[in-house]
Structure 1
Amino acid sequence: MKRLYTEELAIGYANRLVVQNLNLTIMEEKITALVGSNGSGKSTILKAIARMIKPEQGKVFLDGKSIHEQPTKQVAKQLAILPQNPVAPDGLTVAELVGYGRFPYHKGFGSLTKEDKQQVEWAIHVTGMEQFSDRPVDQLSGGQRQRAWIAMALAQETKILFLDEPTTYLDMAHQLEVLQLLQQLNREEKRTIVMVVHDLNHATRYAEHMVAIKQGAIISEGTPQTVMNKEVLREVFGIEADIIADPRTGVPLCIPHGLTASH
């Protein structure tokens, strides 16, 4: 049975539909990259599937039931989302932030249990943040901050993790740091990861499944080899590009060299 999928999803803002008739199945235990130009609707789709916004029509199904009809805490035990540019309260330490990931397992505002603390310690360890656990989040570098937020999402103990442009505003080293961590979580923990990605070459290197989106519609989906071709790049991004094989992995890489005539 498909675990997470949409049926005829329509999503809108201020009486304007951004996405219509979306049918998308999330590949279980894979990394999926949603790609498209600015304003294509990819972040909107991510938020709707992760239950952050309610669709105008259609449904998102999680384990056979409509996700918007399930209790919030029940959904929060199944999936976690890291939005774009999250901000922690001033002075909040990494350990405190990661502890917030345990909220689906609490009634009211009780203190962390022994099991909670073990899960928090594990999340901090697996993201390589032990030496920063007592440091305020607002004193960390961009890459460290992003790892702290990922640790909080991991502390939720979900098998599905959504990330909206997790490498935005990070330098190249920190981008690789975050992407390699996500790849490690997918391979070692079998986490299903769905992320909105701007850099096409990051998408082909780290995702096994790609979904190319234009004006809220899926233009192409499949392996990087399927999606990364000149025709899709012309239609979705309005660019002319050469496609070469990565000498290390063989995945397709995009080298743009011009705009299409219609762009």
Structure 2
Amino acid sequence: MSRLSTDQLSLSYGSRPIVQGLNLRVPDGLITALVGANGSGKSTILKSMARILTPAQGGVYLDGKLIHRQPTKEVAKNLAILPQNPTSPEGLTVRELVSFGRYPHQKGFGILSAEDNRMIEWAIEATGMTMFRDRPVDHLSGGQRQRAWIAMALAQGTEMLLLDEPTTFLDMAHQVEVMLLLEKLNKEQKRTIVMVVHDLNHAARFAQHLVALKNGTVLYEGHPEVVMTSQMLRDVFNIDADIIPDPRTGAPLCLPYGLAEEPAGSAASIGEPATADYRDERVQAMA
């Protein structure tokens, strides 16, 4: 099933088309990773799904209704988005930041209710930020700040989280810290998570559904074990790489060696979406 989907979605910046005729269904209760080269349309699609960017044609559907025709607060009660590199006012504490997540549920003068306070404290605890709750956000490390922003998104009480490159500019330890948190939220609370990811090995390890994009078109889609192939890396990223199983998790592990020597000639490389059968045939051929 899919509560969030697109139908013939076309997006552009001014007169420049970015995405054309996109049909995409986000699987409920899974982590979906959008991957692709810079300029492939990943962040643009995410913004449209969150109703930040208005489609040129087609639409985004939430529970079967066009999301851009739904009231802002109603959308915010169903999905939360964490944009890339969010910033907060200087001196704002973690708890104050997290409390902003309750805005869609507030009435009147925005006074926090008992339920608001319960959700705020729950989100702070769920993200491991209890000991930092009264600390200014700008005094935290990169990983701690990112967890605070995720806590704010959690405080909205939504079943869906959309995250645009949640590990950007974080060191390796903080990247793993954030990804493990998202994995925990998905496994323990069945949160549907859609994230734009640059690190393909993070995408393959933590996501159960992978969408590989090129020029605003889905070339490959499915479970990482099916999608993460040498051919996909050639078609989508134009790189020469081997795929081996992760020695601990068994997830596909990408070992890049350089740029592909010549453009790929498969159907997917010229914009034809690979079907499930087509992907399976490729995996079998490579075995």
- TM superposition score normalised by structure 2: 0.90
Q: Tell me the distance in 2 between the aligned counterparts of 1:109 and 1:214.
A: 46
Whose relative contact order is higher, 1 or 2, with alpha carbons under 8 Å and at least 6 apart?
Answer: 1
Q: Aligned partners of 2:197 and 2:164: how far apart in 1?
A: 8
Matches within 5 A, 1:210-249: 210-249=210-249
C-alpha distance in structure 2 between counterparts of 1:17 and 1:108, whole Å: 41
| Matching of residue 134 in structure 1 with residue 130 in structure 2 | no
Provide the C-alpha distance between the structure 2 equivalents of 1:224 and 1:40, rounded to a whole number of angstroms: 19
CA distance in 2, matches of 1:142, 1:85: 10
- CA distance in 1 between counterparts of 2:82 and 2:109 reads 22
CA distance in 2, matches of 1:119, 1:53: 29
Q: Name the residue aligned to 1:256.
A: 256
Pairwise CA distance, 1:241: 0.3
Q: Counterpart of 1:47?
A: 47
What is the Cα deviation at residue 108 of structure 1? 4.2
**Counterpart for residue 196 of structure 1:** 196
Aligned-residue offset at 1:107: 2.3
Alignment of 1:183 onto 2:183: yes
Partner of 1:70: 70
How many residue pairs are counted as aligned between the two chains? 263
2:185 corresponds to 1:168: no
State the one-letter code of the partner of 2:247.
P
Alpha-carbon distance in structure 1 between the residues aligned to 2:2 and 2:130 = 37
* Alpha-carbon distance between aligned partners in 2 of 1:258 and 1:173, rounded to the nearest angstrom: 26
Query: Is it true that 1:27 corresponds to 2:13 in the alignment?
Result: no
Uncovered stretches (5+) of structure 2, i.e. residues with no partner: 264-287
Q: Distance in 1 between matches of 2:191 and 2:110?
A: 28
Letter paired with 2:57: Q
For residues 122 and 255 of structure 1, what CA distance do their matches in structure 2 show?
40
Matches within 5 A, 1:9-24: 9-24=9-24
Which amino acid letter does the alignment assign opposite residue 22 of structure 1? Answer: L
Distance 1:141 1:70 in 2: 37
2:285 aligned partner = none
Name the aligned partner's letter for residue 133 of structure 1.
Answer: R
2: distance between equivalents of 1:159 and 1:262?
Answer: 43
Aligned to 2:123: 123
CA distance, structure 1, for counterparts of residue 106 and residue 115 of structure 2: 12
Secondary structure of 1:34 counterpart: strand
Deviation sequence 1:67-87 (CA, Å, 0-9, x none): 000000000000000000000
Q: Any conservation in 1 of the 2:3–2:62 contact (CA below 8 Å)?
A: yes
Gaps of 5+ in 1: none
The residue identity in structure 2 corresponding to 1:85 is N
**Whole-Å separation in 2 of the counterparts to 1:119 and 1:181:** 18
143-152 or 102-111: bigger deviation: 102-111
CA distance in structure 2 between the aligned counterparts of 1:37 and 1:61, rounded to whole angstroms: 26
- Does the 8 A contact of 2:7 with 2:58 survive in 1? yes
Structure 2 counterpart of 1:198, which letter?
H
CA distance in 1, matches of 2:19, 2:106: 35
Query: Could you tell me whether the CA contact under 8 Å between 2:103 and 2:110 is conserved in 1?
Result: no
Letter of the structure 1 residue corresponding to residue 230 of structure 2: K
In structure 2, C-alpha distance between the alignment counterparts of 1:144 and 1:48, rounded to whole Å: 28
